[in-house]
Amino acid sequence: MHLLPSLQPLYILSGFCIGLLVGQTGMGGGALMTPILVLLFGVHPAAAVGTDLLYACITKTVGTGVHGANHSVQWPIVARLATGSMPATAVTLLAMSRFDRSSHMASHAISLVLGAMLLLTAVALLFRERILVAAGARLGEPSSRRVDMLTIATGAVLGVLVTISSVGAGAIGVTALLLLYPKLPMARIVGSDIAHAVPLTLLAGVGHWFLGSVNLPMLGSLLFGSIPGIVLGSLLAVRVPDAVLRPILAVTLAVVGTTLVA
> Burial, 104: exposed, middle or buried (Cβ in 10 Å; 0-12, 13-18, 19+)?
exposed
Write out the residue range of the structural domain in which residue 177 sits: 7-257
Pairwise CA distance, residues 123 & 166, whole Å: 17
Q: Classify residue 169: in a domain, yes or no.
A: yes
Q: Can you give the pLDDT at residue 1? A: 39
Q: Each residue of 4-13: pLDDT tens digit?
A: 446 788 888 8
Q: Classify residue 2: in a domain, yes or no.
A: no
Q: Classify residue 1: in a domain, yes or no.
A: no
What is the end-to-end Cα distance of the chain in Å, rounded? 43
Q: Each residue of 171-220: pLDDT tens digit?
A: 788 888 888 888 888 878 888 988 999 999 999 999 999 998 899 889 98
Examine the pLDDT at 114 and tell me if it is beyond 80: yes
> Burial, 144: exposed, middle or buried (Cβ in 10 Å; 0-12, 13-18, 19+)?
exposed
Q: Each residue of 126-170: pLDDT tens digit?
A: 887 787 777 766 666 778 889 999 999 999 999 999 999 888 777
Question: How many domains in the chain?
Answer: 1
Q: Each residue of 6-58: pLDDT tens digit?
A: 678 888 888 888 878 766 665 656 677 888 888 888 888 889 999 989 988 88
Among residues 27, 3, 24, 16, which one has the least CA distance to residue 227?
A: 16
Who wins on pLDDT, 89 or 125?
Answer: 89
Helix residue spans in 26-44 (DSSP H): 29-35
